[in-house]
Amino acid sequence: MLKHVFALSDKGAHDLKVGILSVTISNLCIMAPVSLLMLVTMAMLDQICGGKGLTLSVSAIIFMTICFTVLIFLTQWVEYNLTYTVAYEESANRRITLAEKLRRLPLSFFGQRDLSDLTTTMMGDCSKLERMFSNAVPGFFGNVFMFLIVSVGLIAIDWRMGLCISLPVPLSGLIVFAARKAQQSAEKKNLDAHRAAYDGVQEYLDTVQELRSGGLEQEYLDGVDQKLEYVVKCAFKNEIVPGVAVTLAQFTMRFGLVAVLLIGGILVADGSISVNLFIMYLLVAGRIYEPFGSSFMLMAEMLLSLVSIDRTKEMEATPEQAGQPECHNNGYDLEFQDVCFAYNQEPVLNGVSFTAKQGEVTALVGPSGNGKSTVGRLAARFWDVDGGRILLGGVDIATVEPETLLKNYAVVFQDVTLFDNSVMENIRLGRQGASDKDVMAAAKAACCEEFVSRLPDGYNSNIGENGCALSGGERQRISIARAILKDAPIVILDEATASMDAESETLVQEALSRLLQNKTVLVIAHRMRTISNADKIVVLDAGKIAEMGKPKELLEKKGMFYRLVTEQKLQ
């Protein structure tokens, strides 16, 4: 049950049970000094009344105090190690599990989820669960079990006084539980407000240059301010709802102490119970209610964290891209068989069929927004097709584990992603363990030497976040160098030379033509001059193949490819 409700691993559920047990024992040990106080009180009353009952020496009291202190220290130390330490381990494992989950999800998942939302789940939600597992859940259930054990003993001694102490606690708990829907609704609004604010700030940082050039910076910042003000309002409401419920619960619980005073006084007056027993119940009532002041806050925190748990469960429930760990393909021909694909329920490809043969360059052309880049991503199984099949050397790529499959691919996207590291290490991402000599050879083939020589430390120069120290064409050439270094049998170029000047583009095209021999090459292009030497042209229009053939044949037909070439020559 704990594993299902709180989305725990097997080890996490076991550790949580042990943690709850340790808190229960620790709380019972904290209750133990009440017995010492009771003995001292009874001894004092006997002396005041001139009786010869219980007597306690100072040394005995000191000895018992030391014993209880040592016992409480040991149980508190064990409790900490069995709750906080294991909670941190479970939190770390959860983050790793979610990261591994993200690694196995198709790119379509990331297209449907906001980046700040995923970041909030990975960091914020996991932090909340860490606090819950280390404090809220063990603390709450430990107090509950301690209360049940003590209540049974109190009712067994005198059921009337026992019920006076026990009944207010579950009634108070029901008040907090009854407010759970309002608490969770406020928490969801609070999370949505924070996510919108994160998006606004991130978007401002990403587009500050465009905003300033268009004179829209202040207007945009005013919108961000409104989002931040809404965050404050939602955070306030998120505190008010559980705060009111917890305060009302604590107020209700204190009626138990009043009931003990009233009922106990009546029972003492008619001789039903002794004064000593009455004092014992008063002392226990004062002590047993103390941890429940925080327990109701822990209960409210648990109810709020169920929202975060649901978010992590939703991510974990997303279907993964699975497959066999080995790919027994016969060659590297890429064959599309009646492939259909929709993005966010919008049809992108409809019945696309063609073969990109090994040793040939197959170019995908057509108007913007007609599915060219989608074909490239489907070919590498970044997304899974909705209908039809894609075969690699006769093997359906949907049956191959993505990590295994991508060992056969080198992909150069139109939007380049670089890391805040050196030129050398950014290129080495193409093949981990490659020597510096191999990296520099790939860089030379991609025409990187010219701009690398101008950097302060050459190949060891740091290029900043996403290569901010470089131009667009320079960043693109580093991406091409990665693909050259990987030397994979299948190469997908998605507008790989779009950001280059004519001279660099010519040099890179010559390098690619030499280095891509005997490979399966799929080129997505908008500029017709970049695919003039292609072996096959596939023209996409409205998600379907409009034309297919050699460049010369298609030009002679004077169809869509001819119109695309003519239009670009006129521009």
Q: Residue 199 corresponds to which tokens in the numbers above? A: 């998006």
Cα–Cα distance measured from residue 289 to residue 185, given in angstroms and rounded to the nearest whole number? 29
**DSSP structure string for 362-415:** EEEE-STTSSHHHHHHHHTTSS--SEEEEEETTEEGGGB-HHHHGGGEEEE-SS
* Cβ pair 409, 329 in contact under 8 A: no
* DSSP symbol at 529: G
pLDDT at 391: 92
Do the Cβ atoms of 441 and 461 come closer than 8 Å? no
**Edge-to-edge, what's the strand order for the sheet holding 346-356?**
346-356, 334-343, 387-392, 395-396
Residue among 539, 463, 465, 529 nearest 495 (CA): 529
CB atoms within 10 A of CB 465: 10
φ, ψ of residue 50 to 5 degrees: the values are: 75, 20
| Structure-token pair, residue 86 | 């294991």
**CA atoms within 13 Å, Cβ hemisphere of 451:** 19
Query: How far apart, in whole angstroms, are the C-alpha atoms of residue 469 and residue 449?
Result: 16
Tokens of 121: 């789940």
The residue length of the chain stands at 571
- What is the per-residue pLDDT for 274? 78
**Can you tell me the distance from the alpha carbon of 194 to that of 121, in angstroms, rounded to the nearest whole number?**
12
Residues 6 or more apart whose Cβ sits within 8 Å of residue 434: 428, 485
**What distance in Å separates the CA atoms of residue 113 and residue 544, rounded to the nearest whole number?**
28
What is the Cα–Cα distance from 521 to 512, expressed in whole angstroms? 10
Cβ-based neighbours of 389, under 8 Å, separated by 6 or more: 337, 338, 339, 396, 398
Q: Which residues of 32-66 are buried (b: 16+ CB within 10 A; e: fewer)?
A: ebbebebeebbbebbeeeeeeeeeeeeeeeeebee
Q: Which of 309, 306, 314, 308 has the alpha carbon at shortest distance from 105?
A: 314
Distance of CA 354 to the CA centre of its chain: 38
* Residue 5 confidence (pLDDT): 65
Sign of CA dihedral 5, 7, 11, 15: negative
Using DSSP's 3-state secondary structure scheme, residue 221 falls into helix
Decide: residue 254, CB within 10 A, 0-12 exposed, 13-18 middle, 19+ buried.
middle
Task: Tell the burial category of 440 from Cβ atoms under 10 Å away from its Cβ (0-12, 13-18, 19+).
Answer: buried
* CA gap 160, 162 in Å, rounded: 5
Burial zone of 210 (CB within 10 Å; 0-12 exposed, 13-18 middle, 19+ buried): exposed
Region of residue 367 (left: phi > 0; alpha: psi -120 to 50; beta: else) = beta
Q: Are strands 387-392 and 334-343 parallel, antiparallel or unpaired?
A: antiparallel
Beta-bridge partners for 539: 365, 547
Contact (Cβ atoms closer than 8 angstroms) between residue 421 and residue 460: no
Phi and psi, residue 472, nearest 5°: -65, -40
N- to C-terminal Cα distance for the chain? 67
Pairing verdict, β 395-396 and 387-392: antiparallel
Strands (DSSP E) contained in 121-216 are none
b or e along 213-225 (b: 16 or more beta carbons within 10 Å of the residue's beta carbon)?
eeeebeebeeebe
412 vs 226: CA distance, rounded Å: 40
Low-confidence spans in the chain with pLDDT less than 70: 1-9, 34-57, 108, 111-116, 496-515, 528-530, 568-571
DSSP-assigned states of every residue in 443-492: HHHTT-HHHHTTSTTGGG-B--GGGTTS-HHHHHHHHHHHHHHHT-SEEE
| Cβ atoms 129, 311 nearer than 8 A | no
Beta carbons within 8 Å of 31's beta carbon, 6+ residues apart: 146, 150, 284, 287, 288
Q: Is 371 left (phi over 0), alpha (psi -120 to 50) or beta?
A: left
